Amino acid sequence: MALINHIILIGAVLAVISILLGQLSSRLGAPLLLVFLLLGMLAGEDGLLGLSFDSYGATYAVGSIALAIILFEGGLRTPREVVRLVFWPSLTLATIGVVLTALCTAGIAVLVFGMTPLEGVLMGAILASTDAAAVFMLLHGQGVAVNARVGGTLELESGMNDPMAVFLTLMAVALIQAGASMNGWDVAWIFLIQLLGGGALGAGGGYALRWLLERLNLSAGLYPVLATAGALLIFAGTNALNASGFLAVYVAGVMLARAPYRAQQVITRFLDGLAWLAQIAMFLMLGLLVTPSDLVSNLLGALILSAGLILVARPGAVLLCLLPFRFNWRERGFVAWVGLRGAVPIFLASIPILAGLENAQVYFNVAFVAVLTSLLVQGWTISRAARFLGLEVPASAPHGHELDISLGHGATRELAGFRVMEGARALNHTYGDLQLPPQVDIVSVIRESTPLPDFRATRPGIDDYVIAIAPPTEIAGLHQHFAERGKDSGGLAGFGEFVFDADTPADDLALMYGIDLGPGARGRRIGDVLHDAMGDHVVAGDRVKFNEIELVVREARDGRMRRIGLELEDTRIHLPVTRALRKLKHPLKSWRAFRRLNRL
């Protein structure tokens, strides 16, 4: 009894310290996952508390559950328009990209550690996939918003690439144990079962979970419990059928979020907290599991391999995989840089140990150093990389709202409450004149604790509390009407010296600024004209140039532009990356001139 109580006490203390240190890390710009990992190491065998923990089996079990919860919550937060926009590039990176990264890393491992080719493939497979927990947390926790095409690709890739990494790792372990005697058709069949089976079972499980949520009348607190239990059932059941449980649970989350469902806000908030708890528990355990003194013997080789992974393997795979898709070189560069490694490589590195392979500890030690290097180098520089490459876009206002009431079985709308903030767009209109999304109605407005009797004829005031009935999918967009304008624009350069709605007549814009939009623009909205030039699906940050004037998408929703910025010059020439390339170009010119003089 005393031992169990001590374990609970130590675990709770470490969790509380992790959260408190997280506040400090956010001020320093350090990745929060790195804090969790280092805290576990400090509490471990070589650390201050000297706790001895070497249960790879327990770590594998806890890591599986934690990763399933993180993936399910990530799927719930993946907007359906993002899935439509970036599904194919994400799938390419999650399959072909993982294979290319694994093979390139395998070659480096063979050269550095003197491994056999098959052992090198195992090392490459362990390190090949990006980590969903790291990508989800660091993309949303660094205070920098990137456009939906880039951010969505990274998130969707990290949610889908674990099955390929797990498959390659298990196949490499099996081939090493069997002496590379496995039939190639057997390998292909297992891969198809893992990928197609995981996707199909995840989609079916997501629809089944929605069906249950819509038809069961439960206490409000039981809906998130049902959703979590259903996600773990999908994960474990899919694994039992030899398909990919990780892919299945992520797809289930995406499918559940495709349309409004009962108790949606309660479930998403609960799972957000549960995902945080899963990340803390997983990274603390991984930190406890490692013994820093054991890393020294493989440290130099692990650092060389990590550098090769970050600078060669990942960029090469991204460059090849994204060539057929609509990404510019700056977007490809950011996707290549944010190939974050987290718990998954360490989690996969425990498989050779559990399988009893020779020198299995080397895989674990190298994977741990690679993860630590990735979090330190890539995780710490995400926001700087986005600004350097000019990919930062105006951040959307926070989607939080204080009221959340489900209207019962079969209801397609929910009650939601919003506080009117200083500088909000709504302050320029009366409540009755607000251009609200379809199926959205304002029910009441409370000012100074008193409901306004005739609010539709009243202009909003700062700190008014607005109660509306809306579909869950419209709540985030509705919040933009009442959010602080400064948080929406972010004061970013390059997103329009002048801003106007996509419904603005193109003729008015052409007359006012002297823009030649072409004969096809007459009598049309400027948004439709720009969609002709940019395609049906656009994201914030997409831009097109007309003579000396540049039009940039400032806000988009469901792939359609809502607001547009007008720049009087091409601001990309002032980007940090452009200035750096110009500085690099001048020394090259000087060197060529010097060589020409020497030939005279």
pLDDT for res 490: 45
CA separation for the pair 104, 98 (Å, rounded):
10
pLDDT for res 488: 44
Q: Which helix (H) or strand (E) holds 526?
A: helix 526-534
CATH of span 404-486: 3.30.70.1450
CA separation for the pair 505, 365 (Å, rounded):
62
Tell me the average pLDDT across 224-251.
92
pLDDT for res 221: 84
Whether the per-residue pLDDT at 234 is higher than 90: the answer is: yes
Residue type, 250: Y
pLDDT for res 134: 73
Lowest mean pLDDT among 175-184, 345-354, 363-372: 175-184
Whether the per-residue pLDDT at 332 is higher than 90: the answer is: yes
Tell me the average pLDDT across 144-165.
83
Condensed to tens digits (0 to 9), the pLDDT of residues 61-88 reads 888 898 899 889 888 888 777 788 888 9
CA separation for the pair 471, 413 (Å, rounded):
4
Could you please report the per-residue DSSP string of 75-130? HHTS-HHHHHHHHHHHHHIIIIIHHHHHHHHHHHHHHHH---HHHHHHHHHHHSSP
DSSP H helical ranges for 466-525: 472-482, 485-489, 506-513
Strand, coil or helix: 582: helix
Are residues 416 and 475 in contact, defined by beta-carbon separation less than 8 angstroms?
A: yes
Which band of pLDDT confidence, cut at 50, 70 and 90, is reported for residue 89? Answer: very high
Tell me the average pLDDT across 241-247.
88
pLDDT for res 586: 56
Query: To the nearest whole percent, how much of the chain has pLDDT over 90?
Result: 21
Tell me the average pLDDT across 392-411.
59
pLDDT for res 572: 58
Which band of pLDDT confidence, cut at 50, 70 and 90, is reported for residue 366? Answer: very high
Whether the per-residue pLDDT at 334 is higher than 70: the answer is: yes
pLDDT for res 403: 58
Domain ranges of the chain: 2-388, 404-486, 493-569, 574-600
Strand, coil or helix: 562: strand
Task: Return the DSSP state at 394.
Answer: P
pLDDT for res 376: 87
Whether the per-residue pLDDT at 298 is higher than 50: the answer is: yes
Whether the per-residue pLDDT at 29 is higher than 80: the answer is: no
Q: Compute φ and ψ for 497, nearest 5 degrees.
A: -70, -25
Exposure string for 296-334, b = 16+ CB within 10 A, e = fewer: eebeebbbebbebbbeebbbebbbebbeebebeebbbbb
Whether the per-residue pLDDT at 580 is higher than 70: the answer is: no
- Across the chain, mean pLDDT equals 81
Q: What is the CA radius of gyration of the chain?
A: 26
C-beta neighbour count of 44 within 10 angstroms: 22
Condensed to tens digits (0 to 9), the pLDDT of residues 308-319 reads 999 999 999 999
Condensed to tens digits (0 to 9), the pLDDT of residues 494-530 reads 666 677 788 888 888 777 777 777 777 788 888 888 8
Condensed to tens digits (0 to 9), the pLDDT of residues 118-152 reads 999 999 999 998 877 677 777 766 556 788 888 88
pLDDT for res 598: 46
Whether the per-residue pLDDT at 109 is higher than 90: the answer is: yes
Fold match, 2-388 / 404-486:
no
Q: What angle do CA 553, 559, 550 make, to 5 degrees?
A: 20
Look at 333 and 36; give whichever has higher pLDDT: 333
- Reading phi first (left if > 0) and then psi (alpha if -120 to 50, else beta), residue 464 is in beta
Question: What spatial distance separates the first Cα and last Cα of the chain, rounded to whole Å?
Answer: 88
Are residues 549 and 566 in contact, defined by beta-carbon separation less than 8 angstroms?
A: yes
Whether the per-residue pLDDT at 448 is higher than 80: the answer is: yes
Are residues 255 and 216 in contact, defined by beta-carbon separation less than 8 angstroms?
A: no
CA separation for the pair 229, 205 (Å, rounded):
12
Strand-pair category, 543-546 with 560-567: unpaired
If we measure between CA atoms, which residue out of 20, 361, 382, 341 comes closest to residue 162?
341
- The pTM score is 0.78
Tell me the average pLDDT across 395-424.
67
Condensed to tens digits (0 to 9), the pLDDT of residues 528-578 reads 888 888 887 888 778 888 777 788 888 787 778 888 888 766 555 556 666
Are residues 303 and 373 in contact, defined by beta-carbon separation less than 8 angstroms?
A: yes
Token representation of residue 46 = 């070589």
CA separation for the pair 321, 335 (Å, rounded):
11
pLDDT for res 573: 58
Token representation of residue 485 = 């304008």
Q: Compute φ and ψ for 419, nearest 5 degrees.
A: -95, 130
- Fold of the 2-388 domain: Na+/H+ antiporter like fold (1.20.1530)
Look at 276 and 4; give whichever has higher pLDDT: 276
Look at 393 and 222; give whichever has higher pLDDT: 222
Query: To the nearest whole percent, how much of the chain has pLDDT over 70?
Result: 84
Q: Which helix (H) or strand (E) holds 364?
A: helix 360-377
Whether the per-residue pLDDT at 227 is higher than 90: the answer is: yes
Sheet holding 560-567, edge to edge: 498-501, 560-567, 549-557, 543-546
Whether the per-residue pLDDT at 99 is higher than 80: the answer is: yes
pLDDT for res 497: 66
Are residues 30 and 279 in contact, defined by beta-carbon separation less than 8 angstroms?
A: no
CATH 3.30.465.10 fits 493-569, yes or no: yes
pLDDT for res 597: 42
Strand, coil or helix: 217: coil
Look at 14 and 142; give whichever has higher pLDDT: 14
